Amino acid sequence: MTFLDRQLGRFTMYRLVTVVLLVLAAVAVVQASLGVLDPSIFSVGAMLLTLVVMVVSSVVANVVFGRSVGVHPHLESSVVTALILWFLFWPSTDAEQLGWLALVAALAQASKYAFAWRGRHVVNPAAAGVVLTLMLGWATGWPVPFTGWWVGSESLFWFVLVGALVVLYRTRRLALGAIFTVIAAAITIWWQLGIGADIGDAVRFTAYSTPIVFFAGFMLSEPLTLPPRQRQQWGVAALAAVLFTWPLLTSRLFGEPWTVEPFTSTYELTLVVTGLVALVLRQGSRSLVLRERRPLSGDVVEYVFDADRPLHFAPGQYVEVDVPHRADSRGRRRMFSVLSAPGPEVVLATRHPEPGSSYKRALATLQPGDRVRVTSVHGDFVWPESGPVLLVGAGIGVTPFLSQLAAHRDRDVVVVLGERDDQPYVAELETAGARVVRLPVDEVDGPTIAEHVPDLADRTAFVSGRPDFVDAVARGLRGRAKQVRRDAFLGY
């Protein structure tokens, strides 16, 4: 586990994005005070006033809409939305303009409840707020504000790049960001060359005058509006790059941009389309009724649920579970690997350390008959269709192996178990039909595994557990195993 992983792991995803956006906002305000940003547009007073108006409107709207539908609102998410919107609209001190910007922020929050499907919002809230406002202005003729995406500026570029890389690294979506950025940048540079720019000017324009990097790091990566599988996410990233640059692409191909009023820019529409694509690809949510809670070794507790409809997933994937309660800053959803095979019974397990988050406390107080909801299924920690497999896990990291072994009892499987104190599921692994090698967790490394698994080079290895364990073992297996797949639990 790297130093960067340890530091970023201290933050929840919402908290990390909030902090990064606040740092970018502080940089922008400082640049405005120094005259780096155009002083005729960016006065410190206007920037701060606009920010306050959008944050207050966003938070208040989230509280009002959330309580009106009986949902405890997640306030930090509304702050993130307001900060993103702040970077899209020109700052103002005009009362009418500020009123419109407050409406944009409020509509963004309304979209989370109006455009939702079984517990998940469909469209990126910031994009939805912009699109709804533009449609309102188009339908009524009112002079609504248009986005300027001023975050795409030369003075902010390197700060935005670092912030985007931090967010994408923490979410393990660097590949998604790279795919979008490369395709969108290539199309933009191609368009610039078509209007007579040289390659240097084309590259500088793409980097310093477009919001490609900001879009990739802070908007496209929004987890609730992405499909569940990695390759699906990559496909969505490529589609988003084409839609994002659609006016430029069609202008170069056909001599004029193909756009539809009132959307002369397709930035926000891109996220509407990709959100709908992700909705089609996502596993539908399921209502779960607690049947039984089983204390296991140490602080591990297993929860057995009955689903209202069979839960379909590939063994090894994880589910997001929403437990209704008054949540702390970490929210009311968590990710869990599924122990059971796909079907109507859903078995999950987790540790309950003291004092624990509000989520863990709410989970621990569930009684038989209480309901929670699976809001989505994610992950690519799934076996290849054929070939021998090696499973390496420690602690509660072995949970995805139980689902995989239950679904594939005829496969050639070796399990290397790095035993921790009060190691759960040892007996279950030993009776699942695989050969189990039990080792102290600090002895699990590449050379030791190779000694116990002579045909390691023929096996696809799956490593699961805490990030430090996964990183160390995966490095040791590179060059020894046929392929190495990892499933680090980022919540530790």
Beta strands in 17-150 (DSSP E): 116-117, 120-121
Distance from C-alpha of 296 to C-alpha of 72, rounded to nearest angstrom: 31
pLDDT tens across 365-394, in order?
999 999 999 988 888 899 999 999 999 999
3-state secondary structure of 329: coil
Distance from C-alpha of 214 to C-alpha of 166, rounded to nearest angstrom: 12
State the pLDDT at residue 410: 87
State the pLDDT at residue 9: 67
Mean pLDDT estimate for the chain:
91
Distance from C-alpha of 185 to C-alpha of 129, rounded to nearest angstrom: 26
User: Which two three-digit tokens encode residue 408?
Assistant: 């594939």
Distance from C-alpha of 470 to C-alpha of 472, rounded to nearest angstrom: 6
**List of domains in the chain:** 8-281 (1.10.3430), 286-378 (2.40.30.10), 389-488 (3.40.50.80)
What's the Cα-to-Cα distance from 167 to each of 82, 84, 163, 490, rounded to whole Å?
Answer: 17, 14, 6, 13
3-state secondary structure of 417: strand
Contact 452, 418 (CB under 8 A): no
State the pLDDT at residue 239: 98
State the pLDDT at residue 488: 57
3-state secondary structure of 23: helix
pLDDT tens across 226-254, in order?
888 889 999 999 999 999 999 999 999 99
State the pLDDT at residue 363: 94
Vertex 321: Cα angle to 319 and 322 (nearest 5): 155
Q: What is the pTM of this model?
A: 0.85
Distance from C-alpha of 211 to C-alpha of 219, rounded to nearest angstrom: 11
State the pLDDT at residue 492: 35
pLDDT tens across 193-221, in order?
999 999 999 999 999 999 999 999 999 99
Contact 389, 413 (CB under 8 A): yes
What percent of the chain has a predicted confidence (pLDDT) above 90? 73
State the pLDDT at residue 178: 98
Q: Please report which confidence band the pLDDT of residue 118 belongs to, taking 50, 70 and 90 as the band edges.
A: low
* Interacting residues of 453 by C-beta distance below 8 A, sequence separation 6+: 390, 414, 416, 437, 459
pLDDT tens across 69-104, in order?
877 777 888 999 999 999 999 999 999 999 999 999
- The answer to whether the peptide bond before residue 247 is cis (omega within 30 degrees of 0) is no
Vertex 475: Cα angle to 471 and 476 (nearest 5): 120
Give the chain's largest Cα–Cα span.
74
